[in-house]
A and B are shown apart, each in its own frame.
Chain A
Amino acid sequence: MERNDILREILSDPEIMDKYNINEKELTELTTNPPYHSNIVEVLSTIINENDNHLSSSMIYKKVKKTHNIG
């Protein structure tokens, strides 16, 4: 699926994988659907999914904040 591919492509950056403890195997299994591997995966999944739903960036930000329990 295109959304999962985008998610995996962005998170495949070695620095990100290292910092957020994502290994190669986990990377290939990441999806934009819950349950999420980690916070960064949840944030990026929210952005990818809601962009497809044509939400504006301010609306997406509100949803992102919720994932950090600060919204």
Chain B
Amino acid sequence: MASIINSLSFKNFFNYYGDYDQTEYEFKEGVNIIVADNGAGKSKFFNAFLWLFYDDVLDSDDKKRKAVKDFAVKIISDKAKNETEIGESVEAGIKLEYSTGRYKFQIVKSFTATRIGEKISDNESWQVIMNDIEIDKTDHILPKYKPVYDADEKHRIINQLILPTLRQYSFFQGEEVDKMIDFTKKSSIEDAVRTLTNISKYEDIAKIVEDIEARAYKDLNKQTKQKESHNDRLEDALKKRDELKTSIGQENEKLEIQKESYTKAQEEYELLDAKYANASKRKELDEKISSKNRTLKGANEDYQKFLEGINNRFFDGNFSWISLGFENVVEDFKNKISSFRAARYEKRTLLQVAESPNDYFTILPSNSPDAVTLQQMIEKEHCYVCGTDAPKGSEPYNHLLKLKNRPNDSSSKKEFVKNNLEDFFSGLQLNASPFLNKFESIPQSVLRTKEKELELKKRLDKLSSELKALKSQRKDLLVTSNQDEDSDPREVINQFKNAIKRMESASGRIERLDNNLKDLKAQLSATEKEITSLRPKDIPEGYSLNYEIAQDLVDATKKAKERVFDKMVSLLENHANEHFQNLIKYNDIKGGVLNFDKSPSGGISLDYIDEAGNEVSGASEGFQRMKKFAVVMAIISANTSNYNYPLLADAPLSAFGKAFNKGFFEAIPNVFPQSIILVKDLYDKDSESKLTDLGAKLVKDENIQTFYLNEVDGELAQIERTTKIERRK
């Protein structure tokens, strides 16, 4: 019976904060989907199985697996850590329930951490104790779980969920599809065939029959010697046979060495091919990063310039922000300055009147008569104002002189107030005048500036986050390819060309050695026949028959082993094509087939060929992955018995593309009795349902049994962030 996961729950496991009953997924037979954006618990879900099977978790920083006991502090939810006081303990764990026909099992793996220090993220602040694995078992008929104590049985129960030899086909992350089965490595396809066939039995039998042949040959020779003391021709033939056997052995050794060289060269070729592709991708990203850096720098300068410009807007007459809130002051000032001036004028006038009353009680206008008229009046000694004579030395004459010499500037005027603020207030009025007509436009201007600031800030944030994404992609490229930051592309190209040369040269040698071996085997066969004819006739028939049958079985067993291998490869090819056609059902690429081709070293290469038999190259990454995924599905479906284990896949769709995704969800139930697919590609934060169109369709699809949506409030601080699980189906 198939293993079906009924539920998986967490306790303070990364972002899955809270007890097991608060963070639980329930699953059914068939397809189960968990949709989550980055950081919403997708990889952490996958980590639960790494813990279950291998006591490891994946460190998302360097994409390397770490032992749970060494990584425990990072595993505990930040919120839970923060809520734990010094001296108190917190538990983190995973709980899984699965069924296999009659039985149901519940597995709990956990640890307890006691806080002993201030800084919650420091390993030194926590004392971690790994708890015993708890496994309970129940018969579907019995109502109660009973604990399992035996360590071997516990181990068996965990392994039974997905057998270790099959985990590579059942339990993987998106990128793992690439690594899962590498057809350039002879061992990869052999491993798959070995898992699917009883080829190791043929290998055992081949070894036994070779040993039996050697023993039978010895026994027959012993009999020959006993019956006939000397026969030159026979002796020569036997010697020749031994020499030929030795030569065949040597040639076989050489052949193995050449096959190994070919395999190594081919592996290097594939590795460098990937590195070369990786290096070009890296170069492309570097260019993008550099250009993005420049744009970001420019945007930052714009922003800084803008911020600096804001100060000027307070005092710049075009903006006049400084006067905001002073609207009433203008009227107030007007009134006050008017009162001030009236009072001042009154005071001055009164003072001057008191001092020179005659100056102020005249019918003439002020400063009349003017200086020219006065001069004429002095010269004529006659006052034109009152029409009387003013002879020199007389009082009217002196008065005319006094008028002519009267002071004509205000500076000579006597101060009549203690502090003369007239100039100060006039200056204020003058300086404030440009601001007076701006009051109405200031709020609008401030609003526009604020909008501009937000716009610039948004652009800056967008560019920063794009730059971060590019840098992260570049880091991922380095991590996945295990490359140094400074690896030289020219060196890669030289090594790449060298690998191709070595492959060609090894391939040529393999061909020559194969031909040599054919010749040697033909000679051996002729010599064997000669030996048989020369042997004494009175040797008991059993000895000859013993050797002859052993000889025939050596060849027959080798051929049988190759046939079994080839048959399985051909079966895989048929199954892979069947799955592949289903997977690409909704794509435009049609008409071609997957072709498994044998390389000189015995490895299998996987090509996609069109109807005319030409290799189709340059297909997208998603297409390449789909191709490999079809082979993985083939390995499973080609198994003579039904595949009894769930598929646990972390985001295998990221590079597949929409059309592939649709085909994928339709095709997987044909192979896996249960599949749990964690995917971000169906998440759309801007949509009301938070799902893409395909996501919304899948919720309604009858093939989909359960559908979950995970969300994390990105606005919250990391220490407060928790994954919320929402069941949509």
Is A48 among interface residues, defined by CB-CB distance under 8 A?
yes
Is A64 among interface residues, defined by CB-CB distance under 8 A?
yes
Q: Are A57 and B212 in contact (CB under 8 A)?
A: yes
With contacts A16-B556, A40-B549, A43-B549 taken as known, whether A51 is within 8 angstroms of B212 at the C-beta atoms is no
Interchain CA distance A9-B562 in the complex, whole Å: 11
Tell me how far the C-beta of B171 lies from the nearest C-beta in chain A, rounded to whole angstroms.
28
Interchain CA distance A64-B540 in the complex, whole Å: 15
Tell me how far the C-beta of B558 lies from the nearest C-beta in chain A, rounded to whole angstroms.
10
Cβ–Cβ < 8 Å partners of A57 in chain B: 207-208, 211-212
Cβ–Cβ < 8 Å partners of B205 in chain A: 6, 10, 47-48, 51
Q: Are B553 and A40 in contact (CB under 8 A)?
A: yes
Interchain CA distance A39-B543 in the complex, whole Å: 13
Is A68 among interface residues, defined by CB-CB distance under 8 A?
yes
Q: Are A60 and B208 in contact (CB under 8 A)?
A: yes
Within 8 A of A (CB), among B531-547: 540, 542-543, 545-546
Q: Which of A2, A9, A40, A58 has the most CB atoms of chain B within a 10 A radius of its CB?
A: A9
Considering only CB atoms, which chain A residue lies closest to B540 in the complex?
A: A70
Considering only CB atoms, which chain B residue lies closest to A42 in the complex?
A: B549
Q: Are A2 and B553 in contact (CB under 8 A)?
A: no
Is B204 among interface residues, defined by CB-CB distance under 8 A?
yes
Cβ–Cβ < 8 Å partners of B182 in chain A: none
Closest 6 CB pairs of A and B: A68-B542, A70-B542, A57-B211, A10-B560, A13-B556, A57-B208
Is B654 among interface residues, defined by CB-CB distance under 8 A?
no
With contacts A10-B560, A70-B540 taken as known, whether A61 is within 8 angstroms of B212 at the C-beta atoms is yes
Is B557 among interface residues, defined by CB-CB distance under 8 A?
yes
Q: Are A39 and B545 in contact (CB under 8 A)?
A: yes
A-B contact list, 30 entries, CB within 8 Å? A2-B201, A6-B202, A6-B205, A6-B560, A9-B563, A10-B205, A10-B556, A10-B557, A12-B563, A13-B555, A13-B559, A15-B555, A15-B556, A16-B552, A19-B552, A39-B545, A39-B549, A40-B549, A43-B550, A43-B553, A47-B208, A47-B209, A48-B201, A58-B215, A60-B212, A61-B216, A64-B212, A64-B550, A68-B546, A70-B540
Cβ–Cβ < 8 Å partners of B204 in chain A: 51
Considering only CB atoms, which chain B residue lies closest to A68 in the complex?
A: B542
Interchain CA distance A19-B556 in the complex, whole Å: 12
Is B196 among interface residues, defined by CB-CB distance under 8 A?
no
Considering only CB atoms, which chain B residue lies closest to A57 in the complex?
A: B211
Cβ–Cβ < 8 Å partners of B555 in chain A: 13, 15
Is A27 among interface residues, defined by CB-CB distance under 8 A?
no
Considering only CB atoms, which chain B residue lies closest to A69 in the complex?
A: B542
Cβ-defined partner of B543 (8 Å) among A19, A43, A68 = A68
Considering only CB atoms, which chain B residue lies closest to A40 in the complex?
A: B549
> Chain B 206-231 against A: per-residue CB contact (8 Å), 1 yes, 0 no?
01110110011001000000000000
Tell me how far the C-beta of A10 lies from the nearest C-beta in chain B, rounded to whole angstroms.
4
Is B564 among interface residues, defined by CB-CB distance under 8 A?
yes
Within 8 A of A (CB), among B571-613: none
Extra contacts, 14 of them, besides A10-B557, A15-B556 (Cβ < 8 A), are A6-B202, A9-B560, A12-B563, A13-B556, A13-B560, A19-B552, A39-B549, A43-B549, A43-B553, A47-B209, A47-B212, A48-B201, A61-B215, A65-B219
Considering only CB atoms, which chain A residue lies closest to B210 in the complex?
A: A57
Interchain CA distance A48-B219 in the complex, whole Å: 22
Q: Which of A12, A44, A51, A68 has the most CB atoms of chain B within a 10 A radius of its CB?
A: A68
With contacts A9-B563, A68-B546 taken as known, whether A2 is within 8 angstroms of B198 at the C-beta atoms is yes
Considering only CB atoms, which chain A residue lies closest to B215 in the complex?
A: A61
Interchain CA distance A70-B211 in the complex, whole Å: 17
Interchain CA distance A70-B204 in the complex, whole Å: 25
Cβ-defined partner of A44 (8 Å) among B542, B546, B553, B564 = B553
Tell me how far the C-beta of B571 lies from the nearest C-beta in chain A, rounded to whole angstroms.
14
Considering only CB atoms, which chain A residue lies closest to B559 in the complex?
A: A13
Tell me how far the C-beta of B197 lies from the nearest C-beta in chain A, rounded to whole angstroms.
10
Tell me how far the C-beta of A49 lies from the nearest C-beta in chain B, rounded to whole angstroms.
11
Cβ–Cβ < 8 Å partners of B216 in chain A: 61
Cβ–Cβ < 8 Å partners of A61 in chain B: 211-212, 215-216
With contacts A40-B549, A70-B219 taken as known, whether A11 is within 8 angstroms of B556 at the C-beta atoms is yes
Considering only CB atoms, which chain B residue lies closest to A3 in the complex?
A: B201
Cβ–Cβ < 8 Å partners of A10 in chain B: 202, 205, 553, 556-557, 560
Cβ–Cβ < 8 Å partners of A65 in chain B: 219, 542, 546
Tell me how far the C-beta of B554 lies from the nearest C-beta in chain A, rounded to whole angstroms.
11
Tell me how far the C-beta of B703 lies from the nearest C-beta in chain A, rounded to whole angstroms.
36
Interchain CA distance A68-B223 in the complex, whole Å: 14
Interchain CA distance A69-B553 in the complex, whole Å: 19
Q: Which of B204, B207, B208 has the most CB atoms of chain A within a 10 A radius of its CB?
A: B208
Interchain CA distance A39-B559 in the complex, whole Å: 20
Q: Are A40 and B201 in contact (CB under 8 A)?
A: no
Cβ–Cβ < 8 Å partners of A68 in chain B: 542-543, 545-546
Interchain CA distance A58-B214 in the complex, whole Å: 11
> Chain A 13-51 against B: per-residue CB contact (8 Å), 1 yes, 0 no?
101100100000000000000000001100110011001
> Chain B 168-211 against A: per-residue CB contact (8 Å), 1 yes, 0 no?
00000000000000000000000000000010011011011101
Tell me how far the C-beta of B229 lies from the nearest C-beta in chain A, rounded to whole angstroms.
21
Cβ–Cβ < 8 Å partners of A11 in chain B: 556
Interchain CA distance A58-B204 in the complex, whole Å: 14
Tell me how far the C-beta of B194 lies from the nearest C-beta in chain A, rounded to whole angstroms.
15
Interchain CA distance A52-B200 in the complex, whole Å: 12
Interchain CA distance A66-B206 in the complex, whole Å: 20
Interchain CA distance A40-B207 in the complex, whole Å: 17
Q: Are A40 and B552 in contact (CB under 8 A)?
A: yes
